[in-house]
Chain A
Amino acid sequence: MVPVRSTYRITLLVLLFWCALPGVAGSVSDEVLSARALEIEAAFLVKFSSYIHWPKQAFSSPDAPLVIGILGRDPFGSVLDTIARSYVMQGRNVEIRRCTDLRTLCSSHIVFVTVGAMESMEAIVASAADRPILLVGNAPDFLERGGMINFVVVNNRIRFDINVTNSHRAGLEISSKLLKVARTILQ
């Protein structure tokens, strides 16, 4: 019996291993990929600043930092801070602010709207209306709902779409270079 029992156990273990293996691997891979995707998105988010032209009054002084606000639960963590610390945008430092409140939105130059914050998207757009604030998100209907740059995953790569109409309305000029890199441009 014992052998039978033990054989059963071994077989079971092997089966379990084989079944679990891809599952474990897949979950780890997804986990890694999403981490990598987040890191890329964070880098993109910072780098966008170089391709956007803000009106003069958007900054209080020539060396005033560029402020990137995260609306909703911050998915990036310290990665974004690390990137921002080493980044200089036209002589300006980059400051990351995590805000839960729409009021603080007004002092930011770029606002990343997390998926969780999409519920109040209309309010966000309204409060940012007529202000030079670049709204970046990663929700499927983000652009239709007033967003300007929206991350998408294409073939496992992070790409982005741009809504030029919205950015125009906000008084922002998006560099044609960035437009060239964008996957889709909505007008």
Chain B
Amino acid sequence: MSAFRDYSIKTKLTIIIIVSCLAVSLMASGFFLVSEIVSMRRAVLEDLTGLARVIAINVQAPLEFMDPATATEVLASLSARPQILQAHVYAKDGRIFASYHAPQVDSARQEALDMEVREGRIELGRQSYHYSRRQISLSVPIGSADKPLGTIVLQSDNSALQAIISRLILVIAAILLATLLLALVLSRMLNRFISQPVLALADTMARICENEDYSVRASKSSNDELGALVTGINTMLDGIERRDAQLVVAKQAAEEANRAKSRFLAQMSHEIRTPMNGVLGIAGLLLKTELDTRQHQFVRTIIHSGESLLNLINDILDFSKIEAGKLELERLHFNVRQLIDETLDLFSNRAEERNVRLAGFVHAAVPAVLVGDPGRLRQILMNLLGNALKFTEDGEVKLNLFLVEQNRESGCLLRFEVQDSGIGIPRKKQGEIFNAFAQVDGSTTRKFGGTGLGLAICRQLVQLMKGEIGVESEEGEGTTFWFTVNFEIGSADRLDEVIKAEKDEETGLFDASVLVAEDNLTNQIVARGILEQFGCRVTMVENGREAVKMVAENHFELVFMDCQMPIMDGYEATRRIRAEERKTGRPPVVIVALTAHAMKGDREHCLSVGMDDYLSKPFSEEQLGELLRRWLAPAKKEESGRGDAPTPGTGSDNPGEEADFDEGVLDNYRQIQRPDQPDIIRRLITIYLKSSPTLLAEIDSALQASEHERLWHAAHSLKSSSANLGAVKLARLCEELELQGRAGRLEQAAELADSIRQEYERTEAWLGRKNSQ
């Protein structure tokens, strides 16, 4: 029955018509057949009875006068009726008086009739009959009721009747078949009125659904319920079409609003970043001038606050970018130990202010060089460390890095942990804190600040890196944030390049002529200041037209082109410069776009007009330096010396060599050593021994000039490279000097520098031993 439910209306109608036709004609013909058979039997029986009566009258006299011969003669007249098979005249006493058998009747049949009489199916002395498929037997009394003489028994062949019945059944079957055919034809014709419109309607609906074309209308062919259905559907389609049109309008409006929002966001970031660029740049430059300690502190606060503000803007932009799925991870080689070191460094001041011990631990098994996105990894760590510090006072914050597993195919799985002894997070809040804009409670925002985006960004970044992030915390006991990230293991060659690049960074200066096209005065000063620090000769123009002119008349290694300028913007200027170059056959100058647009697509746009690279404002010294390294050849090493002023130092406390040098660090490098490559450790030591004296000289020179910045930079570099080789004590001393330099407290700097020099000599000796091993 449920199968029937799924048939098409056409089939259903056909089945219904045929079934009802068949039912009616079956009933009618059944009734007809039965009544026909009954009446035919009756007719046959009546005929036979009549015949028997005639014979009864005719054999009455022979019976009365005991003349079987005559009786037999009478019976013999039955041969005129071929269907009569047998006839018997029984005398009153039950004996057979006379008999007749048709020629075809065999003895078995004769016996059968006798049996019928003996068994009483045919009764003697009264009228009776017995009907069977093959024959009809009947008895009729002879004589009157008061003067019974005997009985005549007749048997008639029933096969004729049976044949008639069979023929009748055949005819009825034929009629049924004809009815069926007629019903089929009729149903097909009737279908035209019901199923055709329904099918057409279904067809129309299918077409509408498939093409989503709601302008199609179903055609109406009748005024019945189907017509009403068609009208209803058409009305509905009208409604859908009308609503679609409204939706299109609404969607366009929404898209326009969204574009406006994006433009606004880009504009805002531009508007905020440009002055911030100015503030931070100028503050940075200000820091390098003669300032007393108080002023120095103020400037540092300005820089710090500006950076916070920029971070905030970056957070929001990051978050929207990740939300929109527009963030792509980089694949770079990096030293994870160095990254952790540098990240911790960034927080050392804050930690000190809050009286928090900041410590990092990297498990020895962690590979030195990894492939991944160090920028994003740093972002996660900074977020977590920033949080940990924010909620911890007078305690400790630890950053731990473990190797979870390592194999050749998938690289290594690292687990980072940021553990603090802060206020902790209530258990029921722990699930929510990774959601955007969720903080433990509203008051947290007021008390501790923050956008509430940090952890959400962390989670998204970790998920992007196909890792997991989680938190374990007891209220009042501190919090541990952990996350796991899978990294590929970097090759030894690339490690070398990384280290080399770092060396270049430490020492890089460029002797190049650079044109900056920038209309904003602040930006001009910042750009000029930073570029000159890198040793570049800077020419400044205020708009695109001047830039085109300048490039045509002079030779520049590099052109920084602000994209938005009055008179002629950077895109147009670039196009003209490129056109000019093509015309004159001059080699193309490197053009780098400067833009405050942080939106995706800017880069593509810049490259499409012929620019070579892209720098987003506000840019840091490092970013600019990296760009210069990318496009310009570094100047000769000799030029990079910045004065040489060795200072005698004081003796250091005398720790054992065991604690001063970490052998494990060098052993780590040994792990990634490949047999077909030059000895990494030897090369590292050589580079270190070559570059460190320069740094020591820089420290001395900066000390004498009281230049904090130069001092702590140099100390920082020496700290990093020393830590890289396992010179733990030297690194610690350098860190101390760096901290003092950053803080602007140079009272003990000279002593420290002395200790550093002494420790360096020990290190040199230790490395010398290592090198010869």
Contact = CB atoms under 8 A, between A and B. Distances in A.
B628 to A, nearest CB: 154
Sorted nearest first, the 6 A-B pairs with minimum C-beta distance are A177-B61, A181-B65, A181-B67, A181-B61, A47-B64, A181-B70
Give the secondary structure class of A's interface.
helix
Nearest to A179: B61
Given A175-B61, A178-B61, 16 more contacts: A44-B65, A47-B64, A47-B65, A50-B64, A51-B61, A88-B146, A88-B147, A157-B66, A159-B67, A160-B65, A177-B57, A177-B60, A177-B61, A180-B61, A180-B70, A181-B64
A40 interface: yes
**Which of A50, A175, A178, A181 has the most C-beta atoms of chain B within 10 angstroms of its own C-beta?**
A181
B274 interface: no
Nearest to A176: B61
Interface string B45-86: 000000000000110111011110010000000000000000
A41 B64 CA distance: 12
A178 B60 CA distance: 10
Contacts of A175: 61
User: What is the interface residue range for chain B against chain A?
Assistant: 10 to 19
Contacts of B66: 40, 157-158
B64 to A, nearest CB: 5
Contacts of B57: 177
A178 B67 CA distance: 11
Interface in A133-157: 157
Interface in B225-243: none
Contacts of B65: 44, 47, 160, 178, 181
Nearest to A51: B61
A177 B60 CA distance: 8
Interface of B: 57-58, 60-62, 64-67, 70, 146-147
Interface string A160-187: 1000000000000001011011000000
B45 to A, nearest CB: 26
A140 B750 CA distance: 193
A180 B62 contact: yes
Contacts of A40: 66
9 contacts: A47-B65, A88-B147, A157-B66, A177-B58, A177-B61, A178-B61, A180-B62, A181-B62, A181-B65
A159 B66 CA distance: 9
Contacts of B61: 51, 175, 177-178, 180-181
A40 B66 CA distance: 9
B89 to A, nearest CB: 13
A47 B65 CA distance: 8
A36 to B, nearest CB: 11
Interface in A78-136: 88
A134 to B, nearest CB: 15
A181 B66 CA distance: 9
A47 B147 CA distance: 11
Nearest to A158: B66
Contacts of A159: 67
A117 to B, nearest CB: 24
Nearest to B67: A181
Interface in A49-74: 50-51
Contacts of B67: 159, 181
Nearest to A157: B66
A160 B146 CA distance: 26
Nearest to A48: B65
A88 B146 CA distance: 9
Contacts of B147: 88
**Which of A40, A178, A180 has the most C-beta atoms of chain B within 10 angstroms of its own C-beta?**
A180
A85 to B, nearest CB: 14
A180 B66 CA distance: 12
A158 B65 CA distance: 9
Nearest to B57: A177
B69 to A, nearest CB: 9
